[in-house]
Chains A and B, each alone.
Chain A
Amino acid sequence: MSSQAATRSQMSPQTQPGYRSALFARYGESILVYVCFALFVVVIGLPFYFIFVSSITPSTELFNVPPTYWPSIPTLDNYARMVESIPFLTYFRNSVIFGVGSSAVSVIAAGMAAYALARIRFPGSNIIYLALILSVALPQIAVLVPMFQTFNTFRLVNTHHGLIIMMSSLMLPFTIMTLVSFIKQVPAEIEEAAYIDGATTVQIILRVLLPLIRPALFTMFLINFIISWNELLYPLVFAHNVDTKTLSVGLTELTDPGSTYTKPWDMMSALSVFMIVPVLLIILFGQRMIISGLARGALK
């Protein structure tokens, strides 16, 4: 781009009035965009670079002053020690169960509720909608103690389904809001036609509406999976054994008795990479859907 601009400046007469601003309008703007883009890439990318480089730097070299920006001999030792320090595979499995379970339950429950709220006129529907949506503002931490007691009574602490119940519930308000706005955009005439043809409500939901809103459901599934994959507080408080702890809890558990430094960054960065990769894959795969889903939920 800049070489093109240079050749043009040789060709054009410098004396022409308004030449500078015209040139800027033509090329300066796009150069500015690329400069901003480069800055944006650096600010977003640098932390990931540091995390990745730390994960392949020998732990002795990690504590160099000044810090190492690229290891002399890249190694996978940190990964090996991380896998020995915590039951990595079990935690990984728990994270997947927690993520898939919570997003599936939240999407199903929110989809059902959204249909009732968007399509069926009944007294109190506005109040129920408002109560469901406003409950998003209730801080998780503010109800933690009573919730723990209730979950303890029902023997839901240290269980997958207990964690799934609380996490899916946490994500319901945003999911309902998004799905209601989506269902309202689908013309009701299609369902009315099916109704006149003698279809029951269940048939209408499953055969007519479901195919139409499947992309929205899938988008919310992806978004909710990412949110639950990242969740720390609930598993930290409600999961105390190997069978239910997730990777984010594992991150807080890594300790290295051999090191004087309190936080074993070598192992943490290795685990961090493992936690980032699945999310990156989801984004590569569903970028467009996730962007539209997030914007819709926040705008409506």
Chain B
Amino acid sequence: MSARPHADRRPNLFARLSLRQRFYVIAILLLLPAVGLRVFTAFYPFLQTAYLSFHRYNPAFDHGGPVFVGLGNFQRMSADPVVQASISFTLVFVLGATFFQLALGLAVAHLLNAAFRLRFLSRALVLIPWAIPMAVAALGFRWMFDDQFGMIPDLLRSLAGVEMRWLIDPNNAKLAVTSVAVWKSTPFVALVLLAGLQGIGRDLYEAARVDGANAWTSLFYITIPMLLPILITTGMFMIVWQLAVFDLPFLMTGGGPGYSTTVIAQKIYLESNSLNYGYAASISMALVGIVAVVGVVGLYLFRRFDVSM
């Protein structure tokens, strides 16, 4: 008793722990809110989605709860033309948009990095498309692309002599939705690439210039190889993020004309609204599967090129 007076005066559990154990307790307490939130809104509902994807569940009809159907939902998906159309448009949209976001983003990053008097202005302006609500951009461009009253067809007609109908033509509607995604997110990509550009030493370019390199050879032999890890991570991030896009096509075209601009997320939304919870869950699993494949390919590419640097 008298050997451990300290423990007797403070008989709480925490004081009896070793120093190392105390740190574990503190770490757990600090992580609890974040982990709790993610479990509650991501991990646990995801397990439920996985469970539902093998069940037929429409709360309006299946009063006894979900009915196990095995791979039934996935068979139905493979025969559903809307699902196929939405997957193919989503892939075209995401890959096309990401390519142009990276290419134009690199160009804009050079502009933001150039030494000129209005540089501060360009850096403030570049944030604006990223920062405004997607809903505002989607509806604004819907109006601007309008065949009768829109400014874009009118400007194209009067300035370039191009006569184009946008949102009522399936292919042009796809092009229009993709362009808005490029307009909205290129600035974000540019900002990330700008940080990468600033990390490349000037001496590399000077040495190349002495050896007779011009702007193009510097771009392809210095800038792009040096930025490759960032280009890959940013590209993967944009692909994964845009695979789940919902608000842009939903508000800009409503998925139309027909189903030409319906993305996977909107198909899930439609099925959920029709209370086909089981079917919606199986399409969700397909979307998660696509995201996972992209993620694995991205990690592979990143490791391959990052190690070689």
Contacts and interface: CB of A to CB of B under 8 A. Distances in A.
B49 A37 contact: no
B91 interface: no
Task: Say what secondary structure dominates the interface of chain A.
Answer: helix
Contact of A109 (B37, B41, B134, B284): B37
B135 A248 contact: yes
Nearest to A276: B132
B284 A143 contact: yes
Interface residues of A, number: 90
A287 B127 contact: yes
Contacts of A51: 136, 140
Task: Say what secondary structure dominates the interface of chain B.
Answer: helix
Contact of A169 (B41, B123, B287): B41
Contacts, number: 254
A273 B196 CA distance: 34
B42 interface: yes
Contacts of B46: 138, 142-143, 146
A165 B40 contact: yes
Interface stretch (A39-47, A84-92, A212-220): A39-47
Contacts of A11: none
Interface string A150-186: 1000000000000001101110110010000000000
B126 interface: yes
Nearest to B291: A137
Interface stretch (B78-86, B217-225, B240-248): B240-248
Interface in B233-252: 233-234, 237, 240, 243-244, 246-247, 251
B44 interface: yes
Contacts of B285: 142
Given A66-B154, A147-B41, A142 B131 contact: no
Given A251-B135, A279-B132, A141 B244 contact: yes
A169 B37 contact: yes
B27 interface: yes
B45 A143 contact: yes
Contact of A65 (B37, B135, B148, B233): B148
Contacts of B251: 232, 251-252
Given A47-B141, A272-B140, A113 B49 contact: no
Interface of A: 30, 33-34, 36-37, 40-41, 43-45, 47-48, 50-51, 54, 62-67, 69, 108-110, 112-113, 115-117, 120-122, 125, 128, 131-132, 134-147, 149-150, 165-166, 168-170, 172-173, 176, 201, 226, 229-230, 232-233, 248, 251-252, 263, 265, 268-269, 272, 275-276, 279-280, 282-284, 287, 290-291, 294-296, 298-299
